[in-house]
């Protein structure tokens, strides 16, 4: 085998090796600088704030009785109410007696009756104190209108059953509230408060037998374009909707038409 002779590398090879070395060193220098710049941008992790820990507080009850939770008591109406005669009660009084025991415990606590006072009936109800003597109550006033109905009704009324008339009134009020709950009054940015509180619009609503809203007509607009447009959009959204059912005892009281009224007073606007 022959050995390499001096001068085997040309000047071009030596220059290429030097350029490669310089390129590698330049790349390493750029990487070091980039690593230092990226490490300088790392932010310190903020310390976690202490979160409040909820605790259960048990109140110490005193001797005062607490209000018992419950519901309304359903009252049953009698078939016919009759005015009862007032009960006459007599004040409890003491009188001398030869049969009284001669002990301190036998001393009466009630006042002593007068000598000429009449004795109460044997079956009379006694009380510690009576404010005044009750007199017999006057009889019920006769109705001014003849025929079937209720004394507290009106001449223009048509329903003879007071319970059904009350159910109809409550059901219609429930339906009107159903429409009012879907009405969103304009804001103070759209209509000034002083004007909004004075606006109102009335609507006539048509209802089918299956409680569906079939149509409507604005019978009395407010005169304000923004308010009336809001009424139109609200009612248009109710067409095809199903209304709440009537009471089970009176399923036939659904009216064919309703007359809801929308007012600017129901808005959150404050004068």
pLDDT (tens digit, 9 = 90+) per residue, 158-183? 666 778 888 888 999 999 999 999 99
In a domain, 228, yes or no: yes
Mean pLDDT over residues 31-56, rounded? 68
Residue 180 lies in a domain: yes
Helices (H), 127-209: 162-180, 193-196
CA distance 176 to 170: 10
Domain count, the chain: 1
Would you say residue 117 lies in a domain?
no
Asked if residue 64 has pLDDT above 80, the reply is no
Q: Report the alpha-carbon angle 130-136-142, nearest 5.
A: 145
Q: Answer whether residue 144 is part of any domain.
A: no
CB-based contacts of 258: which residues, under 8 Å, 6+ apart?
A: 172, 175, 176, 179, 204, 205, 207
SS3 label, residue 33: helix
Number of neighbours of residue 175 by Cβ within 10 angstroms: 19
| pTM as predicted | 0.45
Asked if residue 73 is part of any domain, the answer here is no
CATH number of the domain that residue 192 is part of: 3.30.1150.10
Domain that residue 198 falls in: 162-266
Q: Of 69 and 211, which is predicted with more confidence?
A: 211
Residue 145's pLDDT band (cuts 50, 70, 90): low
Q: What is the pLDDT of residues 174-219, one digit of tens each?
A: 999 999 999 999 988 899 999 999 999 999 999 999 999 999 999 9
Residue 239: CB atoms within 10 Å: 13
Mean pLDDT over the full length of the chain: 75
Q: Does residue 71 fall inside a structural domain?
A: no
Does any domain span residue 255?
A: yes
Q: How far apart are CA 84 and CA 187, in angstroms?
A: 58
Residue 215 inside a domain? The answer is yes
């Amino acid at each position: 085998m022959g050995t390499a002779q001096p001068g085997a590398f040309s000047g071009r090879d030596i220059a290429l090796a030097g350029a490669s070395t310089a390129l590698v060193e330049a790349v390493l220098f750029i990487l070091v600088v980039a690593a230092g710049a990226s490490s300088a941008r790392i932010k310190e992790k903020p310390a976690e704030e202490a979160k409040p820990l909820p605790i259960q507080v048990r109140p110490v009850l005193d001797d005062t009785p607490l209000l018992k939770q419950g519901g309304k008591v359903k009252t049953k109406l009698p078939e016919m109410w009759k005015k009862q005669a007032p009960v006459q009660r007599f004040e409890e009084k003491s009188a001398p007696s030869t049969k009284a025991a001669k002990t301190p415990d036998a001393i009466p606590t009630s006042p002593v009756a007068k000598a000429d006072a009449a004795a109460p009936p044997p079956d009379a109800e006694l009380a510690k104190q009576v404010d005044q003597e009750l007199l017999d109550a006057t009889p019920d006033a006769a109705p001014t209108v003849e025929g079937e109905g209720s004394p507290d009704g009106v001449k223009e009324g048509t329903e003879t059953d007071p319970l059904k008339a009350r159910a109809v009134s409550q059901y219609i009020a429930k339906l009107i509230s159903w429409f009012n709950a879907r009405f969103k009054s304009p804001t103070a940015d759209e209509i000034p408060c002083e004007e909004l509180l004075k606006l109102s619009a009335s609507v006539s609503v048509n209802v089918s037998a299956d409680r569906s809203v079939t149509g409507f007509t604005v019978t009395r607009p407010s005169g304000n374009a923004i308010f009336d447009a809001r009424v139109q959009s609200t009612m248009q959204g109710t067409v095809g909707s199903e209304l709440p059912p009537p009471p089970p005892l009176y399923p036939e009281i659904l009216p064919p038409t309703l007359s809801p009224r929308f007012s600017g007073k129901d808005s959150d606007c404050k004068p």
